[in-house]
Structure 1
Amino acid sequence: MELHTLFPAHIAEMKLRANNLCEREGYDLIAIHAGQVKRQFLDDMEYPFKANPHFKAWCPLGNAPHSWVLVSAQQEKPTLVILSAEDFWQEQPNLDREAWLNMFHVELIARPDQIDRLLPYDKSRVVYLGEHIEVAQALGFTHVNPEPVLSYLNFYRGLKTEYEQQCLRRANEIAIRGHLAAADAWHAGASEFDCLLAYMKASKQGENEVHYPHIIAQNEHAAMVHYAGRSTQALPFNQQRSFMLDAGANWAGYAADISRTYAGVAASDEFAELIMAVDQIAQALAMEARPGMAFAELHSRGHLQIAQLLFAFGFCTMDPVDMVAKQISHVFMPHGIGHFIGLQVHDVGANLLDERGLLAPTPKHYPKLKTTRELQPRMAITIEPGIYFIDTLLNQLQDSDYSKNINWQRIAEFAPYGGIRIEDNILIHREGNENITRELGLH
């Protein structure tokens, strides 16, 4: 189904949420600020603009600084305020072909401060949502990002409309094109930097357009979970051991977040088998997730399955259940098994128990787990099991009482590969889950 046919129902649901929130909290108007550009320190250059995600929830314009969405319970349509300045330095929004515009009452302003003319003089029942507190204060707002409002909106952001689900599918389509191109480039002998270029060419998106920097890691670099280097050195084929690619895409403000790991010509058969085993865990967990399950339970299952791999491949002689209880598995997978995804790559609301802001409890054994909410239909999550050989964590393990349970020779054999991560994007449905990434052709 085309996105423009789904957008009216999306706006209707957003408007219903806003109306309910205003009635509950006693507000007349919610003013959502897209944000404004930020100048670099001691420079006349600006950082890439990133719109307020609460603005993007209403408006798919990604590059519209100084714009606003004004939502009033008394008006049927929200008002979209766009800065349309006579500025030959900057590209101006082109609204002529936007089919979704009829869902808004549109106002154009020539200067950012002209928003004041569209706001009520008495702002005692008006809320500002955005990051620019100085702008809110200058305009006379007294209610700036109130916690009850943010908790309510963040909680419901976890439930994706049909429009949002389709945006996530489109983002995955774009990311998959990039993944296939980057993998082909690597198999042909390209450097990390050249793989990045191949990814951007195929996805037709630059790094400033996507939600997070692409992670493109060869060999030992894959041990760094958020590796940011971009080596320009192409490795000889007899040194190509592993390639980890964690990269996404953007569609109308919604993110894809996909990871794959490949064995090179210099890799052992066992490393290729370990990749396949992690891949099987990823697919199994994607189907095990179900409405009513706490995400922490899914995380716990993931750790147990990783621990079983550590035992089966001879890395640790401890019973897998004990391995999880003693947090040995955390050494090899130090991150969560996944996270919410949407307008932000780590989308909000993942730890909320209800719309009032009560937090879902963090499990005792996973005190740093950020995604603790109970799964429901219409939620979008990632599943990303991994096994890494990280020097810092392994050194701590070697100095612990559990060192005797570790086969350090096996660790040394696999350390040159860095690590493995497999990540898919999943939609939770009432009748079975949708693995967006797999169903769109990336295996």
Structure 2
Amino acid sequence: MSADLSRLYAEHLATLRARADIALERGGFAHLVVPSGTAHYQVFDDRDYPYAVNPHFKAWLPITQAPGSWLVYTPGERPQLIFLQPHDYWHVVPEAPSGEWVEHFDIRIIRNAEDAKQHLPRNAARCAILGEAQSALGQYGAFAPNNPQPVLDYLHYHRAFKTPYEIAMMREATRVGVRGHRAAERAFRSGASEFGIHLAYCQAARQDANDLPYNNIIALNEHGAVLHYTDRDRMAPRQARSFLIDAGGSHRGYACDITRTYAADPGGEFQAMIDAVDAAQLGMCAQVRAGTDYKRIHLDAHLALARILLDFELIHVAPDVAVETGVSSAFFPHGIGHGIGLQVHDVAGFAASDSGGSIAKPDGHPYLRLTRVLEPGMVVTIEPGIYFIDMLLEALKNKGLGPSVNWDRVAQFKPYGGIRIEDDVVCTEGDAVNLTREGFAVGFT
């Protein structure tokens, strides 16, 4: 770590300790205990699924590959890391903790997972243990996650407010993602298959499925109409018309989430529509300001996208009518975005307060993932889209809304699948900070 990053990390740790103090007091607990998580094995097999570290663990530590380890925090004391470093010749053993961050922890090295019990607080009933059921020590061990709701409510709510250290980590994750996106576009332009584009992305990002924050969406042509398309054809299509890529990167446990859409013909109508969505998306990003209701950004996005649909003669009705009748939702069926940080879809998107409760989604918009009012420190994605999805368009006909749509124009655009543009945006006291655009503006290697 650089001196500046060491300072940011120390300040971040102080923030986590202060939050934990209040959360434990609210729950009536004396200790915060966080297992890193364990391997999950496939049924009737000895093959494990990719390991995913507990987000509450990596919030404290820049460690993402340490299954069987534990974090213990007691107010007023230095946090303790119980680090599993097994004797093992079948797998790579995690390296011993190192770096400037270790000075902030009391570190205990154990060789067997069960040995953690000798270092954990003796009275498990006084511990708030946050994690998955599989992290229990022993089949009926006392140290099984209890995930007390008052503690989770407080910690999850405040996790929306990123520290300067966390913003720095997300900037580094963006560097990873931008490298991959640039390589993926080059591969698309050279005629690669979806699978080939995916490999080019991973090579440039220097991350694979075990490192990336989510499964890459690499969609050519009509596949862009499948919102979570991950099949990746091994053969290139006879004619590549369009390319939608939704892919991120990770750095020290933090994620970026970036989506771009490209047309094979830079002078065609589909490219013109991409440009229109891109311009509208930048306007939505500018709405990320303190005091703005995120639901408002979502509803405004529907109006902006409906205007584009009208401009491109895809609908016959005014934008406000398209939104009110649900026509716009057939072309833009998902939410405008979500919180992001330690997880791609970060927690507490609907939290009314740090004591619980939830904020409802707008009627008719079931897939919105965030309903809170934006405040400084929050990081959100902004990802409007226009898609040509058969089942949703057919549903419009079944509702009697077929006359609202220009079906001839829809048929012209269906072979392109869809458009999505997504950036990660920081809410500040002033103008929004767009980490993604900032990343593409810099030449990363």
Map of 1:149 onto structure 2: 151
Residue pairs, 1:325-340, within 5 angstroms:
325-340=324-339
Matched length: 439
Map of 1:290 onto structure 2: 289
Map of 2:116 onto structure 1: 115
Residue pairs, 1:12-411, within 5 angstroms:
12-75=14-77, 77-95=78-96, 97-132=98-133, 135=136, 138-141=140-143, 144-236=146-238, 239-265=239-265, 269-411=268-410
1:427 and 2:426 matched: yes
Q: CA deviation at 1:216?
A: 0.4
**Bigger shift: residues 51-60 or 124-133:** 124-133
Q: CA deviation at 1:74?
A: 3.6
Q: Is this contact kept in 2: 1:341–1:380, CA < 8 A? A: yes
TM-score where L is the length of structure 2: 0.95
User: Aligned equivalents of 1:161 and 1:41: distance in 2?
Assistant: 40
Q: Is this contact kept in 2: 1:255–1:342, CA < 8 A? A: yes
Q: Which amino acid aligns with 1:334?
A: P
- Name the SS of the counterpart of 1:15 in structure 2: helix
User: Aligned equivalents of 1:325 and 1:141: distance in 2?
Assistant: 52
User: Aligned equivalents of 1:119 and 1:145: distance in 2?
Assistant: 17
User: Aligned equivalents of 1:83 and 1:433: distance in 2?
Assistant: 41
Q: CA deviation at 1:361?
A: 2.7
Q: Is this contact kept in 1: 2:288–2:425, CA < 8 A? A: no
- Name the SS of the counterpart of 2:123 in structure 1: coil
- Name the SS of the counterpart of 1:329 in structure 2: helix
User: Aligned equivalents of 1:9 and 1:102: distance in 2?
Assistant: 14
Q: Is this contact kept in 1: 2:338–2:349, CA < 8 A? A: yes
- Name the SS of the counterpart of 2:440 in structure 1: coil
Spell out, residue by residue over 1:51-103, the C-alpha distance to the aligned partner (whole angstroms, 9 max, x if none). 1111110111111000111010141x110110011111222222364221111
User: Aligned equivalents of 2:231 and 2:441: distance in 1?
Assistant: 25
Q: Is this contact kept in 2: 1:124–1:142, CA < 8 A? A: no
- Name the SS of the counterpart of 2:125 in structure 1: coil
Q: CA deviation at 1:359?
A: 0.8
Q: CA deviation at 1:125?
A: 1.5
Q: Is this contact kept in 2: 1:325–1:365, CA < 8 A? A: no
Q: Which amino acid aligns with 2:131?
A: G
- Name the SS of the counterpart of 1:89 in structure 2: coil
Q: Is this contact kept in 2: 1:389–1:414, CA < 8 A? A: yes
Q: Is this contact kept in 2: 1:127–1:141, CA < 8 A? A: no
Q: CA deviation at 1:39?
A: 1.4
Spell out, residue by residue over 1:297-337, the C-alpha distance to the aligned partner (whole angstroms, 9 max, x if none). 11001111011111111111111111111111110011101
User: Aligned equivalents of 1:91 and 1:334: distance in 2?
Assistant: 44
Q: CA deviation at 1:382?
A: 0.5
User: Aligned equivalents of 2:101 and 2:135: distance in 1?
Assistant: 31
User: Aligned equivalents of 1:320 and 1:300: distance in 2?
Assistant: 12
Q: Which amino acid aligns with 1:411?
A: V
User: Aligned equivalents of 2:144 and 2:420: distance in 1?
Assistant: 46
Q: CA deviation at 1:133?
A: 5.4
Q: Which amino acid aligns with 2:128?
A: V
User: Aligned equivalents of 1:318 and 1:357: distance in 2?
Assistant: 41
Spell out, residue by residue over 1:160-182, the C-alpha distance to the aligned partner (whole angstroms, 9 max, x if none). 00110001110011100000001
**Which blocks of at least 5 consecutive residues in structure 2 are unaligned?**
none
Q: Is this contact kept in 2: 1:176–1:442, CA < 8 A? A: no
Q: Which amino acid aligns with 1:88?
A: Y
Q: CA deviation at 1:128?
A: 1.1
Cα RMSD between the aligned structures?
1.6
Q: Is this contact kept in 2: 1:353–1:359, CA < 8 A? A: yes
- Name the SS of the counterpart of 1:262 in structure 2: strand
After TM superposition, what 4+ stretches of structure 1 lie above 4 angstroms from structure 2? none
User: Aligned equivalents of 2:6 and 2:108: distance in 1?
Assistant: 21
User: Aligned equivalents of 2:120 and 2:398: distance in 1?
Assistant: 62
**Which blocks of at least 5 consecutive residues in structure 1 are unaligned?**
none
- Name the SS of the counterpart of 1:259 in structure 2: strand
Q: Which amino acid aligns with 2:261?
A: T
Q: 1:132 to 1:408 in 2, by over 3 A?
A: same
- State the percentage of identical aligned residues: 40
- Name the SS of the counterpart of 2:140 in structure 1: helix
User: Aligned equivalents of 2:174 and 2:44: distance in 1?
Assistant: 38
Q: CA deviation at 1:345?
A: 0.3
User: Aligned equivalents of 1:44 and 1:143: distance in 2?
Assistant: 24
Spell out, residue by residue over 1:184-231, the C-alpha distance to the aligned partner (whole angstroms, 9 max, x if none). 011011111110111011000001211210000000000000001111
Q: Is this contact kept in 1: 2:294–2:374, CA < 8 A? A: yes
